[in-house]
Amino acid sequence: MPELPEPAEVAAREGAPHPDAAPAQPHPAGPPAQPHPAEAPAEPHPPAESHADANRASARTRELAGVLLEAGLSIAVAESLTGGALAAELVRVPGISASFRGGIVAYHNTVKHNLLGVDRELLLDRGAVDPEVALQMARGAREAFTIGEHGTDIAVSTTGAAGPDPSDGKAAGTVYVGISTLWGEKAVELDFR
* Residue 183 pLDDT > 50: yes
CB burial of residue 38 (10 Å; 0-12, 13-18, 19+): exposed
Give CA 156 to chain center in angstroms: 3
pLDDT value, residue 62: 86
| Domains of the chain and CATH, by start | 74-193 (3.90.950.20)
Query: Which residues in 58-119 belong to E strands, given as ranges?
Result: 75-79, 100-105
Q: How far apart are CA 64 and CA 54, in angstroms?
A: 15
Instruction: Give the pLDDT band (50/70/90) at residue 60.
Output: confident
Average pLDDT, the chain: 80
Instruction: Give the pLDDT confidence of 88-118 residue by residue, as tens digits.
Output: 999 999 899 999 999 999 999 999 999 999 9
Would you say 81 and 192 are in contact if contact means Cβ atoms under 8 Å apart?
Answer: no
Q: Is the peptide bond before 164 cis (omega within 30 degrees of 0)?
A: yes
Nearest CA-CA partner of 159 in 131, 140, 180, 185: 131
Instruction: Give the pLDDT confidence of 112-147 residue by residue, as tens digits.
Output: 999 999 999 999 999 999 999 999 999 999 999 998
Provide φ and ψ at 123, rounded to 5°.
Answer: -65, -40
Q: How far apart are CA 45 and CA 22, in angstroms?
A: 35
